Structure 1
Amino acid sequence: MGSWMDIKTLRTFITVAKLKNFSAAARELHTVQPTVSRHVSELENELGVKLFQRTTHQVELTKAGEALLPEALNIIANDQRVKSLVGQTTEQGECQINIGYLATACSFFLPHLLSSFMASNPNIQTNLFEMTADEQYQALTEHKIDIAFSRRQPKLDGKQFMVEKIYFDRLMAILPLNHPLAERKTLTLSELRNERFILFRPNEWTEMYEHILLLCQENGFSPNINCHPDNMRHLVTSVSSGLGISIAPKCIKFIAQDNCVCVPIDEVNLVLPLYMYYKREGLAPQLSELVKACLNKAPDIQVMLQS
């Protein structure tokens, strides 16, 4: 088995063949163009043939490349099948389920859901991995996790992964306890025009950031952004310390405790669903049971959030 059989290299080849562009392939693979070029060159050197005909704007498969493509797809598919087969069983013969999750979005329902599930399924070993959305995407596509609890993942192939909505959230004003508006039932966005804002960086949650900026502009002001927190706990600590106010999903209330309050904003109506992603095919019976348990619990989870 030569080095050309490296799965990562073959995946790069398949992506370039599909997109016919090195830059586009690099973006899809979350890497840089020189790495993509190096992988293709290594493959061509190993096989002693040219796999792509390079033109000004795109690349086309050569005859050799066309011959390799179905074989490469078969190798990748078999690799995934073997990983899936082995990953479902531990050395003790127990089923193993790996779950990626967003911490704050899942903290109020996942512990109870999993403890209840494991009590009914004692032979299942469940492993939890706190991950960002990008990390979940990578782990799912590389079959390192079986389920992801995540915000919208538009890059995940709908043919390969199932997606189920667990609950939907809404944006709220996050205020320190001693704030003049803290006891209000609702407030307007214009009442926050003179506040210092604590918002996630635009590249970390583009949809939410752009929505808040646009609404502020529609209400006649640009937010004075004081800092960008690293995560939800950092945001809560910053707000409760008096460094500013924030606009964030309501699920943050479960980690805010008594340090700050969540107040609805009249003009803000962006819906933020939390989804469960899992592979469409080859689902182990135990994994299927967990999926079913999550979907059965979804209405209760929604009620918990709204209370």
Structure 2
Amino acid sequence: MKIDSLYEYIVLTHYLNFTTAAANLHTSQPNLSKHILELEQELGVDLLKRGKRLELTPAGTAFLEDAIQIHHAYKDALRRAREIASHDIVELVVQEPYVMDAMSEILFKSVMRFKRENPYVLTKYYQEKGKKSVELLEQGKIDIALTVDCNSIEWIEQVSEKKNLIFFPVIQEQLHVWLWDHHPLARRDAVTLEDLLHVPINMTATRSFDPMRYAVLDLFQKSVGARPNLQTYSNDSLNEFFMNTQDRNAVFLVSEAMARSQLLGMHYDMVSLPIDDERARITSYLLFRSDYQKLAIDRFLETVERVVADNIERSATASYLGDITVEL
């Protein structure tokens, strides 16, 4: 179907006269009649009643409404394409989140808003199995990465200085423990890090998620002076990892938002409890190279700030952006 034929049909329905419509379209009456007949044959319906007076059939009236919308959509698409073609297009690649938690909600809403407000920036997600965030940044495959830390910035300072990276804190949440409802700890209102010291803690072995494992190790070492009992499982994604709950003696450490998520809620015989310790807080960061050249990164961070300010449901127990505090 030719877009020109749609426009000719729209004009013809306005005048309901082939001669007058052809004159306004700067074409001949036979040529216009041929195009409309070809359109009817392609659609397999009669659009017009041809007699002493030209009239629309019921099908012709219905098709007219759609034809007008299609024509307007085509003109809008053409305008956008020409505008983009006249500008230099910048690409912004963001690491895709692992699970639907508070950080991923902020990121998804920020990307959607950023795309809407910055049509000349080609924004897309990227994920590569087995690759760490820092590796993807160093290889130039992404512009903005994701990482986490459990309330200690020594590792961040070391990586930032060594790798020439900037850590942009977005949200800090209290850690929760997710466990089977028959677990001895499940009868408590809250647990402490000391309670978890000798309890098996499930962690993923996938390299992409190593920051969380290292953060948990560092948290226990600094807070209780001992190494926790981590059990590792190899999974392609965190969604798959959270389905691995066969060990009923083990627990999972999750963020506050993750503890309330639908993903974990599918396990009706498991519960989440807060860890009653101010040290047990997890901070989620956006990560990018300090020598970045793209102004789009600055604009994206501004978009994140606006999304956090007015487009998410804030938790009363979480901290955001400039209100985040970390301890050495």
TM normalised by structure 2 equals: 0.51
Q: Give the distance between the partners of 1:287 and 1:223, measured in 2 at CA.
A: 38
Q: Give the distance between the partners of 1:202 and 1:97, measured in 2 at CA.
A: 26
Q: Give the distance between the partners of 1:165 and 1:214, measured in 2 at CA.
A: 21
* 1:295 aligned partner, one-letter code: E
Per the alignment, do residues 284 and 163 of structure 1 end up closer, same or farther by CA in structure 2, a change over 3 Å counting? same
Is 1:150 the counterpart of 2:147 in the alignment? yes
User: Could you tell me which residue of structure 2 aligns to residue 186 of structure 1?
Assistant: 190
User: Could you tell me which residue of structure 2 aligns to residue 116 of structure 1?
Assistant: 113
* Local SS of the residue matching 1:238: coil
Per the alignment, do residues 159 and 237 of structure 1 end up closer, same or farther by CA in structure 2, a change over 3 Å counting? closer
CA deviation after TM superposition for structure 1 residue 92, in Å: 8.8
* Local SS of the residue matching 2:133: helix
CA deviation after TM superposition for structure 1 residue 208, in Å: 0.9
* Local SS of the residue matching 1:269: coil
* Local SS of the residue matching 2:296: helix
Q: Give the distance between the partners of 1:193 and 1:147, measured in 2 at CA.
A: 34
* 2:280 alignment partner, one of 249, 262, 270: 270
* Local SS of the residue matching 1:173: strand
CA deviation after TM superposition for structure 1 residue 97, in Å: 0.7
> Contact 2:223–2:279 at 8 Å: present in 1 too?
no
User: Which 5+ residue runs of structure 2 have no aligned equivalent?
Assistant: 1-83, 150-155, 319-328
Per the alignment, do residues 202 and 279 of structure 1 end up closer, same or farther by CA in structure 2, a change over 3 Å counting? closer
Q: Give the distance between the partners of 1:146 and 1:90, measured in 2 at CA.
A: 23
Q: What are the within-5 Å matches in structure 2 for residues 110-259 of structure 1?
A: 110-130=107-127, 135-151=132-148, 153=156, 154-157=158-161, 160-177=164-181, 179=183, 181-182=185-186, 184-189=188-193, 195-200=199-204, 204=210, 205-212=213-220, 227-228=232-233, 230=235, 232-239=238-245, 242=248, 244-253=250-259, 254=261, 255-259=263-267
Q: Give the distance between the partners of 1:158 and 1:101, measured in 2 at CA.
A: 24
Q: Give the distance between the partners of 2:281 and 2:197, measured in 1 at CA.
A: 23
User: Could you tell me which residue of structure 2 aligns to residue 12 of structure 1?
Assistant: none
Cα displacement string for residues 139-189 of structure 1 (whole angstroms, at most 9, x for unaligned residues): 212322111122355424489443321111332211235556547542345
* 1:292 aligned partner, one-letter code: E
Q: Greater CA radius of gyration, 1 or 2?
A: 2
Per the alignment, do residues 239 and 143 of structure 1 end up closer, same or farther by CA in structure 2, a change over 3 Å counting? same
Is 1:283 the counterpart of 2:293 in the alignment? yes
CA deviation after TM superposition for structure 1 residue 269, in Å: 1.8
Residues paired across the two proteins, number: 216
Q: Give the distance between the partners of 2:147 and 2:191, measured in 1 at CA.
A: 29
Is 1:95 the counterpart of 2:90 in the alignment? yes
User: Could you tell me which residue of structure 2 aligns to residue 7 of structure 1?
Assistant: none
CA deviation after TM superposition for structure 1 residue 256, in Å: 1.7
* Local SS of the residue matching 1:169: strand
* 2:314 alignment partner, one of 286, 303, 307: 303
Q: Give the distance between the partners of 2:228 and 2:163, measured in 1 at CA.
A: 40
CA deviation after TM superposition for structure 1 residue 98, in Å: 0.6
Q: Give the distance between the partners of 1:247 and 1:288, measured in 2 at CA.
A: 33
CA deviation after TM superposition for structure 1 residue 284, in Å: 3.1
Cα displacement string for residues 11-44 of structure 1 (whole angstroms, at most 9, x for unaligned residues): xxxxxxxxxxxxxxxxxxxxxxxxxxxxxxxxxx
User: Which 5+ residue runs of structure 1 have no aligned equivalent?
Assistant: 1-88
TM normalised by structure 1 equals: 0.54
Q: Give the distance between the partners of 2:289 and 2:85, measured in 1 at CA.
A: 20
Q: Give the distance between the partners of 2:265 and 2:205, measured in 1 at CA.
A: 24
> Contact 1:232–1:252 at 8 Å: present in 2 too?
no
* 2:139 aligned partner, one-letter code: E
> Contact 1:200–1:209 at 8 Å: present in 2 too?
no
> Contact 2:146–2:285 at 8 Å: present in 1 too?
yes
CA deviation after TM superposition for structure 1 residue 295, in Å: 2.8
Larger RCO (CA within 8 A; separation ≥ 6): 2
CA deviation after TM superposition for structure 1 residue 128, in Å: 0.8
Q: Give the distance between the partners of 1:92 and 1:176, measured in 2 at CA.
A: 56
